Every structure is written in C-alpha cells, then in structure tokens.
Amino acid sequence: MTPARMSTNHRPLLLAGREEQLRTDVSSVKGAQFRRLLDECERYRGLPLAAEHPDASITYVGAAAANLALAFRLTGQQHYLTELRRWLDVAVGFPHWGKAHLPDHDLDAGWLLHGLGLAFSWAGDALLENDRARLRDKLILQGTRLHDFAVASEGGWWASSYWQNHNWICFAGLATAAYAIADEHPAAVAWSDLAKANFDTVLDLLPEDGSNNEGVVYWRYGVPWLVSYLDVLRSAEGTDWFPRSAYLRETFWYRLYQAAPDLERIVNHGDCHDRRSGHSVALYYKLAAEYGIPQAQWLARRVADGFFWREAYESGVRPGVRAEAYQELLWFDPDVAEAGPDVLPTSRYFPDLGLVVGRTSWQPDATLVSVKAAPGGGHTAWNASARLDLERGWTTLNAGHQHPDAGSFAILGHGSYLAIDEGYSSRKRTDHHNGVLVDGHGFVNEDRYHVFENIDRQHTAEVMTTTLAGGWVHTVSEIGAMYDPALGVQRLRRHLVMSPSGTVFTVDECVAREPRTFTWLLQTDNPPAPLGDGRYLAQAGSGCLLVTLLGPADATTEVHSTTVQANPTSSTPALAIVTEQYTLRHRTAPVSSAIFVAVLESRPWNGVAPAVVTGSVRDRTVRLRVTAGGHREDVAVHLDGLAPELPVTAGRAQVVGTGFAASTGGTPSVAASVLPDSTIEDGLLR
C-alpha cells in the first residue's frame, strides 16, 4: 500500500474545523510559529535514535512525533512522514515506555501517549497499513497499562496527587490517546472517562490565586499539561472547561511575578533545576488566548525573540522549549493584543502560597524580594488533602518539590542573585535557606526529599499581614509551629520590609520556653567578606549585597560553604546537580528570647560606599534608619502588630500598615532626624 499524500482523518484532534484556516494562517499571521515547527522537524533528521530503550528519559520522542505529524498534516510533504515513521518505529519497538522508574506507569508513558496519540490522529491514515496497526496496538497496550496502574494505585501515588505534575501529565496523555483511538478501541472510553473525572476534581482543588507550590520550573513543566488536557477535551467532546478554572485564569501572574528583574531568569523557590528553566512560549500563548492577557502575549514574544535559544541550550529541563513547537503554532492567537508589564503594580500577594513579591520597578536592574510562608502545598492543598485523606484513607499531598522554606526570602538586584535559594535538593533542609535554626535544627521532618510527607497537621506557617503600598513591601510571617515541639518554640516571627530603593530590613523575634541557641542564616553565591562593625559584603557579579547585622549584639558570626546535591528526575538516576553556596550564620548563646535585626542593601557591584545604618528597640517597637547620599529611609515595626509611632515629617512620603510604618525622602533637619535615646550609632543594636 502506498501512503496517501495527506491524512484522510476528518476529525483530527485539535484541528477539526480549523485546519484550512490554519493552512492559510501559516503563510501570514502564524508564519513565525510555522517556521519554528519546520525548523524543529528539520533538527530531528540529524538525531540518532537508539534501537534499545536508553537509560535516560524518552519524553522527547512523544513531542517529536507530534511535531512531525503536524508538519506533515499541514504541508503533505512526504519527507515529514518518512521521518515520523522513523521515530514511531523506535517508540513502538520499545517493549516498555520508561526504564529506570515505574516503566509504563509514569511520565515517559504520559508524554508518549499524548504525542503518539496526536500523531495517530493527524497522520495515522497516511501510514502504511502495517505501521498504522502497530502504532494503534502500541497505544492500546500502553494506554491499558497506564490506565490500570492509575486505577490500582488510586489514593497512593500520582493517580490522586491532584496538585502534582505527574498527575496532570499522565492523565492528559491517557486522555489524548483515548480520544485518538476510541473509534477503533471502544474500551479506551474508560481511559478518557477516568481522566475527565480526575481533572474535574483537579480544577476544583487548585488554588484560586494561580500559585504553584512546586516552584517556577515545575510550573513551566506541569501546567502546560493542564491546558493540553482541556484542549483535547474541548476538541473531542465539545466541553469547554477553560472558563471554570480560576487557577488557570490567574496563574500567569504567579509566573510573571516570579520572574527575575531581567524577565529571562527566575526566582527559584522550590525544586528548580537552575535559574533559567522557567519559560514556555506555548503556555504563554495559550493563557493569552483563553483569558485575554496582553502581558502573556507580550512575554511570549519577548521570550521567542530574545531568551529562547539560551534557555534551549542551558536549561536543565527536558525535553525543553524546543519540543513545544506544535503547541506554539496551535495555541498562538494573533488577535490578542500585547502589553508590557510597566502598567502593572510592582508587588503582589498570593495568599494561598503565602507568597509576597515586590520589585523596585519593571526594569532589568531593579531589586526584587520574594518571601513565602504557608502550609505544605499551600493552604488549599493542605486543607483539602487533610479532608480527602481522612474521608478515603488516601495520601493526596505529594509536595515533594516544596522546600522547608517558610519565611525564607530571596533577593535579586542589579542583574545578580544576592540572597539566594538553594534550588533543587534531594535532602531538603532549612539551613540551606534564609531562615532561622533552633539549637541547630530546622523544620520538623526535614533532611529528606518530601518534607511534608506524613507530617503532623499542627506544623503550619502563615502570613499574618501584608502591606504593599507606595513602593514599600511589608509582610509578617509566623513559622514557630514548623519546628519540633520538643524545642519549645513559642514564637518565631519574621517581619520583612523592602523599601522603594530596594533595601531589605528583616526583624526576627525568637521565643522559646527555655534557653535555646538561635541561628540566623543568609545564603549567597559567594562568601560574604567581613567589613567590621557587624557589616559584610557579598559580591555577586554586576551586583552586591551589603549586610548590616544590628542584633543581637552578643551573637557570633561565621561564614562557611554549603554543598547542595540533587537528582532532579528518577527517570534518569545518573543525572546529578551539585551546587555550592555560602552560609552566613549569626548565632546567639542559649537564650529564651532573641531579636535578630538585619539590613540588606542591594547595590551595583561598585556601589559599596557604606550607608549610615542605625536602629533601636523600645516598647516592642523596632525602628530602623538608613541614610545614604542625602536620602533617608525610616522603618518602624511593632512586634505585636500594634501601630508603631513614626514622626510625620514634611516632604517625606509615608506608608502605614498593620504593625508597620515607613517613610522615605531627603534628609531632614538634624532636630527631626533624632532617634530615641536607645539608638546605637555604631551600627549595633543592643
């Protein structure tokens, strides 16, 4: 049998009713996306394919099949079909999909069912009869294996992990294959029904603020599969679930506000392979198209034109951005207008994850602070998983990519990472973050991969108040319950402020039933160098961080290196990430209470002239002042959330929030600038 020039399937998934318009658009408004698809297919011709399943992941095979099938479908060019047959022959020939971890039952199977399912729908009728039958039978075999595993493992691993990328990928792949072959294999309807029931639950359980407890990299890896499923559902059944999802409507804002000031890199809370693996042009297109978000459309073009290839070559996530060419073409809506982020507020609060983010501007050299405090998985997942687990005897919260980092912060400024997060870690520890240790201990249940697994429900953190106004960022988080009860922590409360100029102030009140050693931590890429008088300088390329430790005055300080190791994917056991960071430890003697006060100044690399930094504690109010170059910033926080006193001075902008007041402006007269008598002018708070 000679293959037909074009596939004759008249109900192709995602293409039915739009195919001819798409062929027209690729020569005009979708020309750039079409070029991307063809370039990606050209790349495949030079890639060798192993006859035997490699030790590493094979997810890329599924995406390649979809790309090649779409290129053939749209153009009818036989060389795309020939190349598709080469890739299909390899995938169909593997006895199992996935090798090192859960063969046939996890990510490799999900990716390949999706990609090969689309290939069957788009190009199956053009294949030789024997090739088509082999592909169909392989989809039946692998779909049955994945479906049966999901049924058998319900309440255990990914089948009931509603907030986890494995759930979304595996069920989206299963549904795609089911819709592609159901006419010839009616039993596949059970697969799509199971997937539909799963996503019906998922959409109801995702946080309405659009945040993601797994972090930006797994947002970029997992969320495309939510929209992939909704896309095939709408195509196959005519059911549109996009309007019902508050999560998808809001999730672009989570991604945007977790972008570094240069927008190319990321804030890497949670398991992040690196600081660059955060973009999906296809997903930005889709969110822009479904929800009319002009900034998503703008960012997609910005990435495609400026950031794409560096991420493609340097990202640690596979198969990465290049594999999404078919989705870029299908999901781009040229009618959505673009708008940059300049009109948006520079700060935002995501209450479910307890994530507070602020930046001094939307310019690349801005300073950004990001801090979060919430229960494992975020409030929605934490509460819903407790209810489901109790009702059904299941384990639904698999938040293994979230870190023991409640209250921890990251600071980026002047093109550099100044106060850092550890990134990916196989043994997650509080002392890898910018937090506080009690007698050398971090959070309960740490030093393992999944720190929230089987954790007692009393161990939660929360944001108590937030003020975002006048360029100021202020948040208070309580994290005392995250420690082992045997330590007797009664309060561990972090007050964090960022000024309009990018200076970060932290005040940590630590209280225990009996004397404990408290250790305040700061993580940097390079070792902070002591400057004297409680000051340190952490250099970071184009930027630097000036650290002033104001208290406790009798605490000791040391700097040492910290090694962090991770295997980011169980499908490739040999893959390892090892990073080195530097930890500044500010440690008290055993005391029942302590107040750590620090001022962290974001500066350009050559802007190291010291500011005058002073502070005081009086009547449960901490007052801080930074004066530099004729500019002064005053901050007052009340440790119990009462209204702190901060004198109003003419010509100075003032902001007031719960337990917080601040002002900024030119240096006033000497009489107006006097702090209370307990101020220590040598930079140490006693």
Retrieve residue 238's tokens. 């005519």
Q: Residue 681's pLDDT is what?
A: 34
Asked whether residue 58 carries a pLDDT value surpassing 50, the answer given is yes
Q: Residue 668's pLDDT is what?
A: 61
Q: Which of 371, 388, 596, 362 is nearest to 473 (CA)?
A: 371
Least confident of 250-264, 440-454, 557-571: 557-571
Q: Residue 670's pLDDT is what?
A: 40
Q: Stretch 378-405: mean pLDDT, rounded?
A: 96
Asked whether residue 170 carries a pLDDT value surpassing 70, the answer given is yes
**d(Cα 571, Cα 136) in Å, to the nearest integer?**
25
Strand partners, 622: 617, 637
Phi then psi for residue 266, to 5 deg, are: -135, 160
Retrieve residue 334's tokens. 């040229």
Q: Are 659 and 497 within 8 A, CB to CB?
A: no
Q: Which of 556, 547, 543 is nearest to 529 (CA)?
A: 547
Asked whether residue 533 carries a pLDDT value surpassing 70, the answer given is yes
**Angle made by CA atoms 421, 553, 497, in degrees to the nearest 5:** 45
> pLDDT higher for 303 or 669?
303
* CA end-to-end span of the chain: 88
What is the percent of the chain where pLDDT is above 70? 96
DSSP symbol at 441: B
**Angle made by CA atoms 96, 100, 105, in degrees to the nearest 5:** 50
| Largest pairwise CA distance in the chain | 96
On average, the pLDDT of the chain sits at 94
- Band (573; pLDDT cuts 50, 70, 90): confident
**d(Cα 31, Cα 334) in Å, to the nearest integer?**
11
Q: Stretch 9-18: mean pLDDT, rounded?
A: 91
What is the percent of the chain where pLDDT is above 90? 91
Whether 1-201 and 206-344 share one fold: the answer is yes
- The torsion of the CA quartet 522, 528, 529, 534, rounded to 10 degrees, works out to -20
Q: Residue 268's pLDDT is what?
A: 96
Q: For residue 372, which amino acid is it?
A: K
Q: Stretch 631-649: mean pLDDT, rounded?
A: 93
Looking at the domain that runs over 347-612, which CATH code has it been given?
2.70.98.70
What would the pLDDT profile of 445-476 be if each residue is shown by its tens digit? 999 999 999 999 999 999 999 999 999 999 99
- Band (329; pLDDT cuts 50, 70, 90): very high
Least confident of 238-247, 500-509, 605-614: 605-614
Q: Stretch 431-452: mean pLDDT, rounded?
A: 96
Could you tell me how many residues make up the chain? 686
**Cβ-proximal residues to 483 (8 Å cutoff; 6+ apart), any chain:** 438, 441, 442, 443, 444, 489, 492
Edge-to-edge strands of the sheet including 518-524?
436-438, 518-524, 577-587, 556-566
What would the pLDDT profile of 120-160 be if each residue is shown by its tens digit? 999 999 999 999 999 999 999 999 999 999 999 999 999 99
- Band (512; pLDDT cuts 50, 70, 90): very high
Strand partners, 503: 601
- Band (6; pLDDT cuts 50, 70, 90): low
Q: Residue 103's pLDDT is what?
A: 97
Q: Residue 3's pLDDT is what?
A: 39
What would the pLDDT profile of 64-79 be if each residue is shown by its tens digit? 999 999 999 999 999 9
Least confident of 41-45, 435-439, 588-592, 644-648: 644-648
Q: Stretch 532-551: mean pLDDT, rounded?
A: 97
Q: Which of 166, 164, 190 is nearest to 177 (CA)?
A: 190
Q: Residue 680's pLDDT is what?
A: 34
Q: Residue 8's pLDDT is what?
A: 60
- Band (266; pLDDT cuts 50, 70, 90): very high
Retrieve residue 179's tokens. 């819709």
Q: Residue 347's pLDDT is what?
A: 98
What would the pLDDT profile of 24-40 be if each residue is shown by its tens digit? 999 999 999 999 999 99
CATH architecture of 206-344: Alpha/alpha barrel (1.50)
**d(Cα 459, Cα 484) in Å, to the nearest integer?**
9
Instruction: Based on DSSP, count helices (H) and strands (E) in the chain, helices before strands.
Output: 15, 22
Retrieve residue 653's tokens. 């902008």
Q: Stretch 479-486: mean pLDDT, rounded?
A: 98
Q: Residue 425's pLDDT is what?
A: 93
Retrieve residue 485's tokens. 């009860």
**d(Cα 505, Cα 551) in Å, to the nearest integer?**
12
**d(Cα 57, Cα 111) in Å, to the nearest integer?**
10
Q: Which of 2, 21, 6, 25 is nearest to 76 (CA)?
A: 6
Asked whether residue 166 carries a pLDDT value surpassing 80, the answer given is yes
Give residue limits of the domains in the chain: 1-201, 206-344, 347-612
Q: Residue 568's pLDDT is what?
A: 82
Q: Residue 673's pLDDT is what?
A: 36
> pLDDT higher for 609 or 305?
305
CATH 1.50.10.100 fits 1-201, yes or no: yes
Q: Which of 115, 260, 135 is nearest to 185 (CA)?
A: 135
Element spanning 465, H or E:
strand 462-469
Q: Which of 187, 192, 198 is nearest to 232 (CA)?
A: 192
Say what the pTM is: 0.95
Q: For residue 39, which amino acid is it?
A: D
DSSP symbol at 259: B
What would the pLDDT profile of 309-328 be if each residue is shown by its tens digit? 999 999 989 999 999 999 99
Least confident of 67-71, 198-202, 246-250, 569-573: 569-573
What would the pLDDT profile of 94-108 be if each residue is shown by its tens digit? 999 999 889 999 999
